[in-house]
Chains A and B, each alone.
Chain A
């Protein structure tokens, strides 16, 4: 089989204090990972609106990563718990609406987990590569217009 060379578009919504710093640490430590991810920084995973995800797919993304501080480690005490609650509901809703929730990855990644961040990006890229471009959503999007 020919090598899968599909370069997916992946957007990562990360919190400033843990995952953004973890991604920085991956850089400082020179852990290499797939260049398909674009990071959008928010102060806290609690700031991430579920609508961002829908909008991201609308704009042609093939996958989304959401990552914040580990439970109990939130810089704002409980923002990540709010995020978790929101996304549990959101996943169900999206799934019922026909969105492929395999394309949404939720993770915790701390400021000291540079390796974990690099691994996360690689795993998600690999997964999305296998799933292929999110044509179904793009098609729907075109029809809606």
Chain B
């Protein structure tokens, strides 16, 4: 006979304000099988949990319903408490009367009635629940980090530092990401290359880290602790094991094309390393431009002739490499918004309208002009520069409603960098408001305004057009209520950060969520910021939403810590919610075998003692089964059921409806 305890939480006033918790517990007490029913201000608090534990023992409860917040919030908490009191944790269910009741309704009477219904449904379910055991599975002690920007590098270093192997994967020919393109960084003005390149080298020399560049994820299978990942190693056409990075090939290559790393401001060759400090310092051939490939193999081949170690192989092919890892960290970073959208700012039309990332390259000592600031059209030193903020960000009518977070700070930084290059130059900044909410950030912006005399104008720019050699920027200064017109030599656009190309496809391969823009979804925005809802897959950096360097680095470390924690034991414990076959009724029709997305079901023989085949039945591998339950409604004979969400349990929830 079921002995159920019902625990109704007020959640302070969060539930109690809209739901009559007293009535919920009174009505619950009348439901057959309920032997104890109580309400309390904070069920999740220590005294609340103690109440549950004590009741389990005092009333010899066989099942518990906690009516409070979402199980996504506190199911783990309450199930642990139940377990500590000696009750199988799967004999505890939660009725979600906060997120799905008190927070979404105003009418107290109706909300109370709904809360009672939700509790009743869970009581009926928990009466039929069966105790389940967690399943232990061995784990592979290796972490795959996708994305070799600063977040990914930090994650790989920390994983390696914890004594676990890491693979650091990047689709570009070198690790380094966007940070390697930056000049100096806010708010300390330390040189980006100087702080990043040692980390890149450290990663390449760490015996626990294997770097795979120019490589992409092809497919992912498996599950937490046991992922199997197919990596497509794109053809480099250069043998990386033999290459010494001497540079003869790219010095002699006759083809020059705009460099992606230099944001189109400089040139690179068809055989190239993206930048001089690249890791690994080994080139790749861009087949779209290489003469050997564009001529169908007839022309050029100079690099092959000159390479002292015969590393060039024009026959090289993409290669699929399968790796087994226990955890995956996604740190794929961001792209900047395609600027072709901004006709009003003249991007693409006027050479002297550039993106902030291009400006970084223009002032950077390793950039195409070696740090000598020249405007792109005629090489003149710009005497007046206009910086335009929130280009594409915070613009729900046209582009993206979100704030790109870093633009306020890097614009302030760029005005300072500009004034260091042109001490008598004029820097104007059009802004909506200044968001400087990090350590020493506000002081840094004040420094740009007060010491470097950057002139901040609160308002939007309406148009940019050319007049003679100059650009004219027209906009509003909303603080003085006037229209302003500035003749500028250079206009810099702080364009929105957007998710990188291909992120949705990657998320789909990994089975993790993303939002309407393509930013990846964390398991909980506050309490699980680096986890995803898929166990064993973690996130770090700007793939979640716009991030600056300190955020990205801390999340890299966070994701590494989470992975190390997961892989610290030899076995990983997973939930006991897996499918189970009733061998008496199974006819081995194989419907479930075919439909299982994880190939977790196979057919086994049942033999008698003499070894004669009696019958065949389906068999579930609990390690592979993820508990999706797709097999259950597919079975014509109702012979496979999902434990934890059995037909009987779910029908009992529906049946409770008849009482409503």
Contact = CB atoms under 8 A, between A and B. Distances in A.
Contacts of B597: 76-79
Given A27-B100, A32-B105, A59 B533 contact: no
B650 A27 contact: no
A24 B629 contact: no
B513 A73 contact: yes
Nearest to A12: B100
Contacts of B107: 35
Contacts of B577: 43
Given A27-B70, A42-B645, A49-B647, A35 B114 contact: yes
A124 to B, nearest CB: 14
A27 B651 CA distance: 26
Given A38-B118, A38-B660, A43-B645, A24 B628 contact: no
A59 B657 contact: yes
A27 B655 CA distance: 26
Contacts of A47: 628-630, 632-633, 642, 645
A44 interface: yes
B221 to A, nearest CB: 9
B103 A110 contact: no
Interface string A8-47: 0101000001101101101110111101001111111011
Nearest to A31: B104
Contacts of B114: 35, 38
B595 interface: yes
B630 A24 contact: no
A14 B508 CA distance: 20
Contacts of B118: 38-39
B469 to A, nearest CB: 48
A66 to B, nearest CB: 12
Nearest to A18: B513
A142 B100 CA distance: 32
* A contact residues, range: 35 or more
A60 interface: yes
A59 B103 contact: no
Given A17-B533, A47-B632, A47-B642, A56 B657 contact: yes
A85 B384 CA distance: 62
B637 to A, nearest CB: 13
A78 B98 CA distance: 31
A26 B104 CA distance: 7
* B contact residues, range: 35 or more
A43 B655 contact: no
B626 interface: yes
A54 B181 CA distance: 60
Contacts of A76: 511, 597-598, 626, 628, 630
A100 B533 CA distance: 36
Nearest to A74: B511
Nearest to B525: A28
Contacts of A107: none
A132 interface: no
Contact of B99 (A23, A42, A55, A77): A23
A75 interface: yes
Contacts of A48: 633
Interface string B572-591: 00000100000000000000
Nearest to A23: B100
A109 interface: no
Given A17-B533, A32-B104, A38-B117, A49 B632 contact: yes
B353 interface: no
Nearest to B642: A47
A73 B508 contact: yes
A65 to B, nearest CB: 13
B633 A86 contact: yes
A37 B633 CA distance: 24
B73 to A, nearest CB: 8
B188 interface: no
A60 B657 contact: yes
A144 to B, nearest CB: 15
A105 interface: no
Contacts of A11: 654, 657
B252 interface: no
B516 A112 contact: yes
B106 interface: yes
B630 A79 contact: yes
Contact of A27 (B104, B507, B654): B104
23 contacts: A9-B660, A17-B513, A17-B533, A18-B513, A23-B99, A24-B100, A26-B99, A30-B103, A32-B106, A35-B104, A42-B645, A43-B628, A43-B629, A44-B630, A55-B651, A60-B660, A75-B513, A76-B511, A76-B626, A79-B597, A79-B630, A112-B515, A112-B516
Interface of A: 7, 9, 11, 17-18, 20-21, 23-24, 26-28, 30-33, 35, 38-44, 46-52, 55-56, 59-61, 72-79, 82, 86, 110-112, 118
User: Which 5 A-B pairs have CB atoms at the shortest separation, nearest pair first?
Assistant: A27-B99, A47-B629, A46-B630, A49-B633, A76-B628
Given A52-B654, A73-B507, A77-B597, 4 more contacts: A24-B99, A28-B99, A79-B630, A111-B513
